[in-house]
């Protein structure tokens, strides 16, 4: 069985913000979240499974009391590590990570959804200033901006691009928000908005070439020119990617909890990865896509939430 090359660990549901677009409705810790020893075993097992890249998300990872200890272990175990943060620690987060091993293999992904007014309206007063403080503090780690895009924030993209160039971030990840959790259906970009976002990505890559890389997620536009230059082989969930949830559940994707295939408290990660439930995830196809193989099954998140694919074939 080919091992996954990447893993995402949703490390906690605890968060100090109440972002209005949060698909996970993060806030309070989930009951039974992995403790330090359990989390360390998870990192060890992922390393033994030959995972090359680990992305740590939440909630807000840096609200765990053991976040520095666990991040240090991850940096020793994996060639590449990314941490997604709302930036609430500001420069203090950089001060903390500079003391960790192999910090040059770390990417800090800072959430920025617009300039101060729009960003703080979505995330809370003062959130923008802290995020920009984090971006402004010198570090050996790489830094990306990650932007959750809805109707209100779409018009902020040019300003965010300028902010990224100003602070010399390496990459910009543009992710459309979908109506899950606290995110409203009214704020979703919809078909026309997603097409406009794809067109924006094409133009931004041209304008920002050599300054900042532009990324997006697997949710839409598989046949659009924004995918040119990348080999799209279908949804990576359960194929090239494994996901772990806060209480130890293992799935193909953190956004599809229905795909839980086991729990690290009762099975090893390898057993779950090689087991029949994960195989079923690999073989799954969204309903309505049986006559088409070009998108490689599209995105189960979009199918389960919106009952359609945004492939544009």
pLDDT in tens, 181-203: 787 878 889 889 999 999 999 99
pTM of the model: 0.93
Q: What is the mean pLDDT of residues 17-28?
A: 86
User: Is omega for the bond preceding 59 within 30 degrees of 0, making it cis?
Assistant: yes
Which tens digits make up the pLDDT trace of 207-262?
999 999 999 887 787 777 777 766 666 778 888 999 999 999 999 888 876 789 99
Q: How far apart are CA 203 and CA 161, in angstroms?
A: 12
Pick the more confident residue, 92 or 240: 92
* Whole-number average pLDDT of the chain: 90
Q: How far apart are CA 280 and CA 306, in angstroms?
A: 22
Question: Which pLDDT score, from 0 to 100, does residue 169 have?
Answer: 97
Burial (CB < 10 A; 0-12, 13-18, 19+), residue 229, is exposed
Question: Which pLDDT score, from 0 to 100, does residue 9 have?
Answer: 97
Answer for the pair 110, 142: CB distance below 8 angstroms, yes or no.
no
Q: How far apart are CA 58 and CA 283, in angstroms?
A: 28
Least Cα distance to 184 among 233, 150, 223, 218 occurs for: 150
Q: What is the mean pLDDT of residues 147-156?
A: 94
Answer for the pair 79, 106: CB distance below 8 angstroms, yes or no.
no
- Band of residue 282 on the pLDDT scale cut at 50, 70, 90: confident
- Band of residue 167 on the pLDDT scale cut at 50, 70, 90: very high
Q: How far apart are CA 33 and CA 202, in angstroms?
A: 40
DSSP 8-class letter at 30 = P
Which tens digits make up the pLDDT trace of 59-84?
999 999 999 999 999 999 999 999 99
Question: Which pLDDT score, from 0 to 100, does residue 283 have?
Answer: 78
Alpha-carbon separation of residue 166 from 2, 78, 209 (angstroms): 41, 30, 14
* % residues pLDDT > 70 (the chain): 93
Q: At what angle do helices 67-77 and 36-48 cross, to 10 degrees?
A: 10
Residue 299 φ/ψ, nearest 5 degrees: -130, 120
Which tens digits make up the pLDDT trace of 261-279?
999 999 999 999 999 999 9
Question: Which pLDDT score, from 0 to 100, does residue 67 have?
Answer: 98
For the domain spanning 6-284, the CATH number is 3.20.20.70
Question: Which pLDDT score, from 0 to 100, does residue 238 have?
Answer: 86
Neighbours of 302 (CB within 10 A): 21
3-state secondary structure (DSSP) of residue 282: helix
Domain ranges of the chain: 6-284
Q: How far apart are CA 245 and CA 266, in angstroms?
A: 14
- Residue 75, token pair as written in the block: 């940096």
Question: Which pLDDT score, from 0 to 100, does residue 102 have?
Answer: 96
Least Cα distance to 143 among 176, 114, 116, 106 occurs for: 106
Q: How far apart are CA 145 and CA 174, in angstroms?
A: 8
Pick the more confident residue, 60 or 302: 60
- Band of residue 290 on the pLDDT scale cut at 50, 70, 90: low
Answer for the pair 219, 235: CB distance below 8 angstroms, yes or no.
no
Q: What is the mean pLDDT of residues 72-97?
A: 98
Q: State the residue for tokens 């965010």.
A: 160
Q: How far apart are CA 150 and CA 58, in angstroms?
A: 20
Which tens digits make up the pLDDT trace of 31-61?
999 999 999 999 999 999 999 999 999 999 9
- Residue 61, token pair as written in the block: 């990872």
Residue 291 has pLDDT above 70, yes or no: no
Question: Which pLDDT score, from 0 to 100, does residue 82 have?
Answer: 98
What residues contact 289, with CB distance under 8 A and at least 6 apart?
295, 297, 298, 309
Question: Which pLDDT score, from 0 to 100, does residue 301 have?
Answer: 75
Question: Which pLDDT score, from 0 to 100, does residue 280 have?
Answer: 87
DSSP 8-class letter at 259 = G
Question: Which pLDDT score, from 0 to 100, does residue 119 have?
Answer: 95
* Sign of CA pseudo-dihedral 5, 208, 216, 178: positive
């Amino acid at each position: 069985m080919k091992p996954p090359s990447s893993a995402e660990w949703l490390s906690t549901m605890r968060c100090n913000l109440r972002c209005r677009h949060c698909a996970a409705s993060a806030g309070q810790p989930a009951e039974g979240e992995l403790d330090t020893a359990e989390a360390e075993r998870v990192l060890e097992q992922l390393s033994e499974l030959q995972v090359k890249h680990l992305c740590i998300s939440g909630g807000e990872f840096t609200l765990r009391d053991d976040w520095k200890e666990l991040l240090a272990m991850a940096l020793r175990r994996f060639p590449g590590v990314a941490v997604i943060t709302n930036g609430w620690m500001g420069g203090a987060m950089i001060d903390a990570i500079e003391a960790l091993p192999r910090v040059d293999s770390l990417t800090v992904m800072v959430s920025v959804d617009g300039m101060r007014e729009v960003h703080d309206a979505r995330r809370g007063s003062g959130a923008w200033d802290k995020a920009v403080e984090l971006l402004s503090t010198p570090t050996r780690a790489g830094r990306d901006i990650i932007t959750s895009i809805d109707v209100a924030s779409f018009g902020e993209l040019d300003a965010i691009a300028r902010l990224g160039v100003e602070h010399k971030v390496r990459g910009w990840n543009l992710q459309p928000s979908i109506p899950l959790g606290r995110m409203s259906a009214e704020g979703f970009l919809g078909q026309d908005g997603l097409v406009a976002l794809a067109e924006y990505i094409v133009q931004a890559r041209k304008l920002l070439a050599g300054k900042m890389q532009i990324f997006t997620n697997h949710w839409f536009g598989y046949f659009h020119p924004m995918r040119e230059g990348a080999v799209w082989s279908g949804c990576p969930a359960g194929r090239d990617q494994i996901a772990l949830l806060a209480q130890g559940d293992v799935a193909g994707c953190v956004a599809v909890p229905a795909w839980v295939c086991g729990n690290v408290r009762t099975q090893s990660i390898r057993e779950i990865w090689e087991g029949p439930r994960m195989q079923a995830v690999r073989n799954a196809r969204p309903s309505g896509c049986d006559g088409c193989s070009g998108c490689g099954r599209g995105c189960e998140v979009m199918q389960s939430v919106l009952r359609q694919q945004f492939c544009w074939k």
